[in-house]
Amino acid sequence: MRSHNRVVVTGAGGFIGGHLVAEFRRLGYQRIRAVDVKPVEEWYQRFADVENLSLDLNLRENCAIAAKGADEIYNLAANMGGMGFIEHNKALCMLSVLINTHMLQAALNHGCQKYFYSSSACVYNQAKQKDPNVTALREEDAYPADPEPGYGWEKLFAEELCRYYYKDFGFETRIVRFHNVYGPLGTYQGGKEKAPAAISRKVALAGDHAEIEVWGDGEQTRSFMFVDDCVEGLIRLMASNHREALNLGTDEMVSINHLVDMICGIAGKKLKKAHDLTKPQGVRGRDRSDVCA
């Protein structure tokens, strides 16, 4: 670890970004710049000993401010959320291309040494995820391209841009495909929350023996990764020589119905599931191989 380096974390006011800044502080980094579009007082985590900047990184001039003097940039800024948000905000999700393009160019212009890009499992070909018992997805299964509409296409484009910046300019880029990260201080309500948080909220608010809504038939499967493991994995990848996109997740498949049962068990409640087949539920199954956590 190079704790003397200036590290920049974009999307620092969000879930993973906030935990990443916290980990850099724990590791002894003294030159941390945290950037997010939200006012600082609305960040999930904020620290007085960090350079905190509220900047809209859709704008090229703000990306230049964020990248100035940076040794390493961890770009986690994006328009994103849970499946409900992604399904109904395809154009907004794709507009993140402005953030990723401007930040990558600013990093190169300002002599940054390494650039981390946070991608997603939504880049994978949907035709390979129709079975809840899906075969583990390898990184090459993103092609031929048929990613999640909107969000997945933007992520896949940005991955390719990072690869070309290395091939054309020798600029060191690292790419991680996150798989369903959960943990404390994440989005809990409002439409951008992921499945573990949404289900935890519903279970917490329900009385014993009540009924809670579950999107889809609940047989769709996912793997889930705790945020501390996610942060450790992406820091390790940044320190490595691996330049191709890499899956970051666990190797345990969990159905949404089973996830509901697990959370009910933790809460000590017996609840009924009301399956709503009209709500967004994403692909039927998603697992990964070549795991890095």
Q: Token pair 């964020």 is at which residue?
A: 66
Catalytically annotated residue among 44, 74, 117, 151: 151
Q: What is the 3-state secondary structure (H, E, C) of 42-90?
A: HCCCCCCCCEEEECCCCCHHHHHHHHCCCCEEEECCCCCCCHHHHHHCH
Closest CA to 154 of 81, 94, 101: 94
Identity (one letter) of the amino acid at 167? Answer: K
Nearby residues of 213 by Cβ (< 8 Å), 6 or more positions away: 202, 274, 276, 279
Nearby residues of 287 by Cβ (< 8 Å), 6 or more positions away: 134, 135, 136, 137, 221, 223, 251, 253
Q: Token pair 């939504």 is at which residue?
A: 122
188 is catalytic: no
Nearby residues of 207 by Cβ (< 8 Å), 6 or more positions away: none
What the block records as the tokens of 126 is: 């949907």
Strands (E), the chain: 6-10, 31-36, 51-54, 72-75, 114-120, 172-178, 181-182, 211-215, 221-222, 225-226, 246-248, 254-255, 272-276
With beta carbons less than 8 A apart as the criterion, state whether 232 and 19 touch.
no
Q: Which residues are catalytic?
A: 151
